[in-house]
Structure 1
Amino acid sequence: MNWLIEFFGSAEYWSGDDAIPIRLLQHLEYSFLAFAIAALIAIPLGLLIGHTGRGAVIVVVSANAARALPTLGLLVLVVLLIGVGTLWPVLIPLIALAIPPILVNTYEGIRGADPDLRDAAYGMGLRGSQVLFRALLPVALPLILLGLRLSAITVVATATVAAYVGLGGLGRYIIDGLATKNYAEVFGGAVLVVLLALAVQTGFTLLNRVIVSPGVRQVR
């Protein structure tokens, strides 16, 4: 509790280049860019593979990669290959980390839809993309949102690695605090990351209630 008071009660963390609002906005920038790019790649791919059944090996490889990917190691590798000075050394590892949960859950949501629903859609005269978007996607939406939520939380929690290559974000408090043995700063930075992750969790919970049909939520 003393560390929290020392960190959040200190004026130096509320003004200047190291202010909490600035670090928070930087952290959100890295996280949002990585999450948005990952979603733009993984959702269409997951829909396509789930609907056609072709390329399922990509989903398996992606799921396995999510368990084995060393984010910090990949960050160091990217820095060695392309250097620093841009956001890409941070975005590439975060994107690679964010894609698997979105891809796997989108695929499973479409592929796991009731076969009778698919047959009924074809029986009504729907074809191709119409079956996918008008019949299967609404049923798969809870799983897709789950994948997006897991991905977003993972990205927010991992975006602290930006500090390792000299960028900002909430990880700055953790890295700088450890370097100077300012443990109140380390603790405060960690608390901010946890609170941001909880905010993301809450946001997706509310989004699920707004856009998912009540009937689908009850079935799930």
Structure 2
Amino acid sequence: MTAAPIVIIDYNGGNLASAAQAARRAAADLGLPHDVVISGDPSTVRAASRIILPGQGAFDHCAQELGAGLRDAIEEATREGTPFLGICVGMQLMAERGLEHGVTPGLGWIRGEIAPMDDATELGLRLPHMGWNRLDHTRDSHPLTEGLAADAHGYFVHSYALRGYDEADLVATAEYGGRVPAIVARGNRCGTQFHVEKSQRTGLRIMANFLLWQPVPAT
């Protein structure tokens, strides 16, 4: 019997191939037999063993491109317990809404909104926030950060960030003109503001942790 695939959701976004490559590399390193596929087919998403939603660009555009069919499939699969990883805008879509180019509803899985990084702007820092930043853990332990070096860094590219969040959803933060949520998790749904697929050893460790993760579904 063929194992259910790890699905990289194709919704006309960026970084699909690199996210798939990172998942394949992590799965191979772990000796996992799972196939990794890129698909925009809702039925494939519903049958996935793991769901990965990459994201590149504006919140409103990504939310619109996701569409009702894929959104419903993601909702149904994750409600039944399928682990979900959102990357960059994929993580941002987990929030209640985004404020980029107007107000756009998100998936509403975590509290907060995706807003301009005003603190960074006021300090004269360049946007987009682009480059390597240290990840500061907000919990003593979490399966997603298992085995990470104390000085682990992620590679960020963004001008908007989560604010008004629930502290209980934070796993790690970064510093860029203020506190920036870097990893969030609630139940079986998690996300990284930084690009896992571009974060080299740190990214591969987090991807491997995600593939091994056996979370309790969100309520």
Q: Give TM-score scaled by structure 2 length.
A: 0.27
* Higher normalized contact order (CA 8 Å, seq sep 6+, divided by chain length): 1
Q: Which has the larger radius of gyration?
A: 1
Higher helix share: 1
Higher strand share: 2
Q: Give TM-score scaled by structure 1 length.
A: 0.27
